[in-house]
Amino acid sequence: MDDSDSIRATGDAGVPPTGAPTIAEVIARRLSRRALLGGMAAAVGAAAMGRGGAALALGPASTTFAEIAHGLDERDHLPEGYRSQVLLRWGDRVAPDAPAFAVDRQSAAAQERQFGYNCDYVAFLPLPAAGGSSDHGLLFVNHEYTIAGLMFPGIGPGREAALAASAVQSAIEIAAHGGSVVEVRRGPDGWRTTAGRYNRRITGTTPTLVSGPAAGHPRMRTSADPTGRHVLGTLSNCAGGVTPWGTVLTCEENINGCFAAPRSAGGDAAMLRRYTIAERAWYAWPRHFDRFDVAREPHEPNRFGWVVEIDPYDPASVPVKRTALGRFKHECASCVVDGDGRVVVYQGDDQRFEYVYKFVTRDAWDPADAARNRDLLDHGTLHVARFHDDGRLEWLPLVHGQGPLTAANGLADQGEVAMFARRAADLVGATPMDRPEDVEPNPVTGRVYVMLTGNANRKASQRDAANPRADNRHGHVLEIVPPTRDGRPDHGAAEARWEIFLLAGRPGVDAGARYHPATSSEGWLSRPDNCAFDREGRIWMATDDAGATAGVADGLYVADTTGPGRALARLFYQAPIGAEVTGPCFTPDGTTLFLSVQHPGQWEGSSFEAPATRWPDFAPDMPPRPSVIAITRDGGGPIGS
């Protein structure tokens, strides 16, 4: 979700929290001394940018579909030879006993059993759990945030209007956050959902446990939970990850919008500001529910902003907030097993001038011992990245008592280091980034890709010949190259190398845009957000809010990561107006691509009564509905190839 540079602004200050050089400054120094990687160019030749023959447009890319054109309209678009199926829409039944969706008769009780709002991260988990096929599995889907003006009649457009939502409407919104587990099958006519025993909703009121160093901490205790170990629900769920043992990590991101902290409120004012919790919330919730009013419950915000582990194969399991992974605006929690068996979890903090993190477990994963793996994420070391201008990346441990992480600097113990990870990262001198979103390891090459959505607050003083943009509205993608050990990537190492994969924007129009020289006039992108990799190791990049920054719909682009087509982005999918593309996820055989189409119709002036689109139903009495779609190829076969 774009939380800083568009009509969905949060009001965060967006300034570097420390004196450390920003990633813009590091890139500028580095690129001024050496050329970008082979295969990238500052400007694209007229022939390559033209709409000539298909072979010319394709260039050296390994994908074979006919690239679609940029646009901005009320429908979504795919290349010829591909089809999409709307699989899950806001309000569809999840629990077997859920009522049918009635937009004019909504209730929190119904929403707790129906598909939530603004679907984001998607994970496909095969059934059976071990050795399952690509035709039968579970979809785990996050629900990130709600838009009262598009959900309910009479509210009107914009965030100010949303503050007038009633207590009943606010309860529906809270129930529409969290996640959904839905059983799905592929048959002769495509994919369908199943009212299976696994189906469940996790909402903003689902009982949730707290584990790790912050569990039971005095600053986690509230009047409703004096133990500091039991939280009501999970909120603002953005991207996520799947563990090697088959659980899902759902990530709490923009939790600052859930709370109101009047100037007279209790709690730690400096930490509230550091997490951009302001006097006014995005929602009406603090007016109706005490726990969202910091004046009444000063510690409640500390209980959100975590990674939450959920077992989708056990509908009776209780979600657990794994506090050892740190508290910030989590975009993702992407897992990889290191050569020594330890699990490394890559994470991004999605706000301007925030940081890239990784967590390394203390113990190795044991595929034969489920009990041993159950609490693996409670023990290990959280690290934050410092990018050096010579291409070196240093992973700085965030361990209480080491260096500046002491009580004298406002961090009394490891629980507070985890709870206030941003403060800890400030103290050790991490590199402020341009909104780190997805941080994903490529399962084929072992390299790690950091999606940096953008930063409109980059100052003109940071501009130079190598990176001339006065503000980074279009974002860029970094590539981290771990060292090798015994012939395998060593993700747990204390250092790595980094490179620029691409700099987004329109070549020849937006200063500093850089891609492969054969990129077509449709292959440039703005504001990379989520990403995924197919079986060939190609990167599929989703965008967020390109309409506001570039005048085109958000979409899904694919590029090779190695070979002659490296960084040659090609446009594969275009969303309807106002929608963000999120959560790309492939079946193991690569023949189905699941996508979330989030907040269709969220456009300036859009409301329940007059939305910019009524996708996907296009019914006059139905508002736009965030949905998960399944994309397949006519006649079958891997997507893109």
pLDDT at 439 over 50: yes
Q: Which residues of 562-576 are buried (b: 16+ CB within 10 A; e: fewer)?
A: eeebbbbbbbbbbbb
Asked whether the predicted pLDDT for residue 56 surpasses 70, the reply is no
**297-312 average pLDDT score:** 97
150-169 pLDDT, tens digit each: 999 999 998 899 999 999 99
Residue with tokens 């953005």: 238
CB neighbours of 138 closer than 8 A, spacing ≥ 6? 124, 125, 127, 181, 182, 183, 184, 198, 312, 313
- Which residues have CB under 8 Å from 81's CB, separation 6+? 65, 66, 633, 634
- CA nearest to 540, candidates 455, 473, 451, 626: 451
The count of structural domains within the chain is 1
∠ Cα 360 365 371 (to 5°): 120
Distances (CA, A) of 53 to 48, 50, 56, 505, 519: 10, 9, 5, 24, 13
Helix (H/G/I), strand (E/B), else coil: 166:
coil
Band of residue 19 on the pLDDT scale cut at 50, 70, 90:
low
Structure confidence at residue 585 (pLDDT): 98
2 or 217, which is more confident? 217
Q: What CA–CA distance (Å, rounded) separates 356 from 441?
A: 13
Q: Decide if pLDDT at 7 tops 80.
A: no
H/E stretch holding 426? helix 421-428
Tell whether the model's pLDDT for residue 141 goes beyond 80: yes
Global confidence as pTM: 0.94
CATH of the domain at 215: 2.120.10.30
Residue 292 has what DSSP assignment?
Answer: G
For 301, the token pair is 């915000």
Above pLDDT 70, what percent of the chain?
89
* Nearest-angstrom CA–CA distance, 258 and 480: 33
Q: What is the mean pLDDT of residues 323-332?
A: 98
Joined tokens for residue 71:
């646009």
Residue 154 to residue 162: CA distance in whole angstroms: 10
- 110 close to 199: Cβ distance less than 8 angstroms: no
Per-residue pLDDT band for 262 (boundaries 50, 70, 90) equals confident
Strand order in the sheet with 495-503: 334-337, 342-348, 356-364, 380-387, 392-397, 495-503, 476-481, 448-452, 436-441
Per-residue pLDDT for 38 more than 80?
no
CB 430 within 8 A of CB 386: yes
Mean pLDDT in residue range 635-640? 96
Decide: 24 and 458 in contact? Cβ < 8 Å. Answer: yes
Q: Answer yes or no: is 18 within a domain.
A: no
589 vs 13 pLDDT, higher one: 589
Least confident of 169-173, 315-319, 452-456: 452-456
Task: Evaluate whether residue 314 is within a structural domain.
Answer: yes
From residue 315, how far is each of 198, 311, 318, 469, 470 by CA, in Å?
A: 6, 7, 8, 49, 50
∠123-454-441 over CA atoms, to 5°? 35
Per-residue pLDDT of 565-586, as tens digits, reads: 999 999 999 999 999 999 999 9
Q: Average pLDDT, stretch 210-234? A: 98
Contacts of 327 (CB under 8 A, 6+ apart): 214, 302, 305, 306, 418, 419, 420, 421
Q: Is residue 272 part of a domain?
A: no
Task: Give 10's pLDDT tier (boundaries 50, 70, 90).
Answer: very low
Residue 265: what pLDDT?
Answer: 63
CA distance 616 to 636: 24
- 325: tokens are 């992974």
CA distances from 260 to 46, 107, 221, 397 (A): 52, 24, 18, 32
> Is residue 155 a part of any domain in this protein?
yes
In contact, 124 and 632? CB cutoff 8 Å: no
CA distance 196 to 202: 16
Residue 6 domain-assigned (yes or no): no
Supply the pLDDT for residue 289. 98
Quick check: 8 pLDDT over 50? no
Say how far residue 93 (Cα) sits from the centre of its chain: 25
Cis peptide before 99 (omega within 30 of 0): no
Torsion sign, CA atoms 501, 244, 140, 142: negative
pLDDT above 90 (res 469): no
Local structure of 54: helix, strand or coil:
helix
- Per-residue pLDDT, averaged over 18-23, amounts to 56
- Mean pLDDT for 13-24 is 56
Which residues are registered as beta bridge partners of 181? Answer: 140, 200
Residue 22: which pLDDT band, with cuts at 50, 70 and 90?
Answer: low
So what's the pLDDT on residue 2?
47
Residues 284, 256: Cα–Cα separation, whole Å: 13
| 358-409 confidence digits (pLDDT tens) | 999 999 999 999 888 999 999 999 999 999 888 899 999 999 999 999 999 9
Instruction: Quickly state the pLDDT bin for 57 (edges 50, 70, 90).
Output: very low
Residue 591 structural domain: 23-253+305-633
User: What mean pLDDT do residues 90-106 have?
Assistant: 97
What value does the mean pLDDT of the chain take? Answer: 90
Across 536-557, average pLDDT: 97
565 or 470: which leads in pLDDT = 565
Residue in 33, 77, 8, 31 with CA at minimum distance from that of residue 615:
77
Query: What's residue 444's pLDDT?
Result: 97
Reported confidence tier of residue 54, pLDDT bands at 50, 70, 90: very low
